[in-house]
Amino acid sequence: MTSISEKDSNDFQTDVRRRTNLLTARNALQSAAEAPNEILELSSAEYLRHTEDEINRIIDRDVETLVEGMEEIIDLSVVKSVDKLRSLQDSLAIELRTETLIRSCTSLMSLSHSMKMMWLLGDESHSGKVQELRFRELDEEINRLKLKATSLIEQLKIKYSDSSGLKKSSIQISNK
C-alpha cells in the first residue's frame, strides 16, 4: 500500500472521533497493547498514517504466514520412507499448517471486507471535490501548454520567414 503524500493528507479530512462500528474493522486495526485514548488524541493525518501502518503490518504478517505455510506443506508432502509413525506425523503437521493458512486467509478476507466497507461508506463528496479540483488543475496546465506551444510555433514561423528573407536578399545582391 502506498503512503499518503503530504499534499493529499493536508487536503483530506476524516472524522477521527466517529469510528466505524464494524467489529471486524475495530478488531483488525487495533492491537491489544495500544491504549484507545492515545488514538483519539491523534490528528486526522496522523490517524490515517497510523491506520495505514497497522493495515500494512497485518497484511505483511498474514502474507508471510501464507508463504511460510505453503513452503512447509510442500516440504512435508514429499514422499519419503514408508514409516507409519513418520507419515502420521507429517499428515498431522500438514493438517495443522493448513488450519493456520485458513486463519490467515480469513484474516485477510476480513480486512479486505472492512476496507471495502470503509471505502463504500466513506465521504463521496470529498472525493468528488478532489477529483474536480484535479480536473481543473489539469485543464489549466493543458491550456498553459497549448499557449506555450502556440508561442513557440509563432517564434519558429518568424525565424523561418526572417531566414528565408535573408536568403532572398542575398540572392538579389549576388544577381546584381
Same-domain pairing of 78 and 131:
no
Same-domain pairing of 118 and 130:
no
Same-domain pairing of 102 and 133:
no
Same-domain pairing of 130 and 161:
yes
pLDDT tens digits, residue range 66-75? Answer: 999 999 988 8
Same-domain pairing of 71 and 29:
yes
Angle between helices 44-76 and 84-120 (to 10 degrees): 160
**H or E stretch at 114:** helix 84-120
Q: What pLDDT does 104 receive?
A: 92
Q: Which of 77, 94, 122 is the last residue of a domain?
A: 122
Domain extent, residue 17, equals 1-122
- Please give the share of the chain, as a percent, with pLDDT higher than 90: 35
What Rg, from alpha-carbon coordinates, does the chain have?
A: 32
pLDDT tens digits, residue range 98-127? Answer: 999 999 999 999 999 988 888 788 767 777
Distance CA 27, CA 113 (A): 13
Does the structure show a pLDDT above 70 at 43?
A: yes
Count of structural domains, the chain: 2
Q: What pLDDT does 36 receive?
A: 56
